[in-house]
């Protein structure tokens, strides 16, 4: 899954974007659907699974550990699970490509099974630190050997039976929380995660949906999530809502390109994920929710987004956990707002697929945007709706969200913007550029 041949692409200023799009299935839910279906006893069906490289890496890893996964011609994925505790010793290294979610969550699954697995990844993933998940899983008894700096390649030797722990998250991380909860599934007793700052709650919702005994209790220490181990999960029929992180690019694009009106269908609006839309509303974006509904326990709606003048804001730091993946495209929106936007409290951006703060400073700065960099965020001085200068070649740094965010920026730039490598976009949104052409009427 490594991207050997760069795929540069040039983005020029666009006429109004018009039309209706359906974004790929939610990446977080897709990963968890495959993992939990693989631990259920019997056949689960998944509709709307994101078929990007990251999720396919999860599917491949689960197959390697004995789970039968098939995709039928109607796009439905069927998974025959092996039961909690039933994962088999993989016969080869688990190749994670660019997927940090796959790596951290699967490490949690394996930590309480009597198997050993080696995780490998591409150049980008191999730079990302895994220490934050190594610590709690080691406390549960797993023997984890990582490369220098707590990086991939990494070998995880599971402990069975593992030791239940009570673990307070030192940083807001849904991946670390989920890894511990998944390890707790096959651990005798009750495993607890204390979350001082709430993060996306897909794991809690899905674990409960599959029949795990799980409680969530608000306390003065934060949310206390408790899971009872040695669970028996029941197979499910899952409908994956559209990924709000993918929808974010069209919401910002329609907001900044004059004359645009885009309907984004079936967007998951879980409140632990919808911070970007809250921030855009604060900036004056014209976003209307249509047909709000609940699908598979997740709130969903269609969004109609029309071009509107944006005004700079101070982004509330408590929004950070609910929009951590959307900051790159929020910085793009801020580049076209009236005034100086400030976004702080996003330390996590430093350890994503790239250092997304530094990456966006370099990218937007090269395109003539005035910025101030902080350790935990950015200040962006906008154009008041005018095009940015553009005319630069941008390093995507093997980061799909940098590539897509700067594509959006190029849609309202005076001179074309070149993305040095658009290939990483396939990790989360394989049809992104085709969808852009449809909205442009090409």
Q: What residues are designated binding site for 3-phosphoshikimate?
A: 27-28, 32, 173, 175, 325, 352
Sheet containing 9-11: give its strands across: 9-11, 417-419, 393-394
Burial status of residue 72 (CB atoms within 10 A of its CB: 0-12, 13-18, 19 or more)? exposed
Active site residue 376: no
Q: 328: closest CA among 405, 421, 393, 255? A: 405
Whole-angstrom Cα distance, residue 61 to residue 120?
A: 11
Whole-angstrom Cα distance, residue 225 to residue 229?
A: 13
Residues in contact with 220: Cβ distance below 8 Å, sequence separation at least 6, in sequence order: none
Enumerate the known binding-site residues for phosphoenolpyruvate: 27, 100, 128, 175, 356, 401
Q: Render the burial of 266-297: b for 16+ CB within 10 Å, e for the rest.
A: bbbbbebbbbbbebbebbebbbeeeeeeebbe
380: phi then psi, degrees, rounded to nearest 5:
-125, 125
Contact predicate 366/394, CB 8 Å: yes
Enumerate the known binding-site residues: 27-28, 32, 100, 128, 173, 175, 325, 352, 356, 401
Whole-angstrom Cα distance, residue 248 to residue 226?
A: 32
Q: What is the DSSP annotation of 293-355?
A: EEETTEEEEEEEEE----B--EE-GGGGGGSGGGHHHHHHHHHTSBSEEEE---GGGGGSSS-
Whole-angstrom Cα distance, residue 37 to residue 117?
A: 20
Catalytic one among 325, 386, 399, 421?
A: 325
* Through-space distance between the first and last CA atoms of the chain, rounded to whole angstroms: 30
* Strand partners of residue 20: 263
Question: Tell me, what DSSP letter sits at residue 409?
Answer: H
Whole-angstrom Cα distance, residue 245 to residue 268?
A: 9
| Active site positions, annotated | 325
């Amino acid at each position: 899954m490594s991207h050997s041949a760069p795929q540069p692409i040039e983005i020029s200023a666009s006429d109004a974007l018009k039309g209706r799009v359906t974004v790929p299935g939610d990446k977080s839910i897709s990963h968890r659907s495959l993992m939990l279906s693989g631990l259920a006893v019997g056949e689960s069906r998944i509709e709307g699974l994101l078929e990007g490289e990251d999720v396919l890496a999860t599917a491949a890893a689960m197959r390697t550990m004995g789970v039968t996964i098939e995709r039928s011609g109607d796009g439905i994925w069927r998974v025959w699970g092996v039961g909690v505790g039933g994962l088999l010793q993989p016969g080869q290294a688990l190749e994670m490509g660019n997927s940090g979610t796959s790596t951290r969550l699967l490490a949690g699954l394996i930590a309480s099974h009597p198997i050993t697995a080696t995780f490998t990844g591409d150049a980008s993933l191999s730079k990302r630190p895994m220490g934050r998940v190594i610590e709690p899983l080691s406390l549960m008894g797993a023997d984890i050997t990582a490369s220098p700096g707590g990086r991939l390649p990494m070998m995880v030797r599971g402990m069975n039976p593992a030791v239940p722990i009570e673990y307070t998250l030192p940083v807001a991380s849904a991946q670390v929380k989920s890894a511990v909860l998944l390890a707790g599934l096959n651990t005798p007793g009750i495993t607890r995660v204390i979350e001082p700052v709430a993060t996306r709650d897909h794991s809690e919702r899905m674990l409960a949906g599959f029949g795990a005994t799980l409680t969530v209790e608000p306390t003065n220490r934060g949310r206390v999530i408790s899971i009872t181990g040695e669970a028996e999960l029941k197979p499910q029929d899952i409908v994956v809502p559209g990924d709000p992180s993918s929808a974010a690019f069209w919401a910002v694009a329609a907001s900044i390109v004059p004359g645009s009106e885009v309907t984004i269908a079936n967007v998951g609006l879980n409140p632990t994920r919808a911070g970007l839309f809250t921030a855009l509303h604060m900036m004056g974006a014209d976003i209307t929710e249509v047909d709000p509904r609940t699908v598979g326990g997740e709130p969903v709606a269609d969004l109609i987004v029309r071009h509107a003048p944006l005004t700079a804001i101070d982004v509330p730091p408590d929004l950070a956990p609910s929009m951590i993946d959307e900051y790159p495209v929020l910085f793009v929106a801020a580049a076209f707002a009236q005034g100086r936007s400030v976004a702080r409290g996003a330390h996590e951006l430093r350890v994503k697929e790239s250092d997304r703060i530094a990456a966006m400073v370099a990218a937007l700065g090269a395109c003539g945007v005035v910025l101030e960099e902080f350790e935990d965020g950015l200040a962006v001085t906008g154009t008041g709706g005018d095009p940015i200068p553009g005319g630069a070649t941008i390093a995507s740094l093997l980061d799909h969200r940098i590539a897509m965010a700067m594509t959006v920026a190029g849609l309202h730039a005076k001179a074309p913007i070149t993305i040095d490598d658009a290939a990483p976009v396939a990790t989360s949104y394989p049809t992104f550029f085709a969808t852009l052409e449809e909205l442009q009427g090409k």
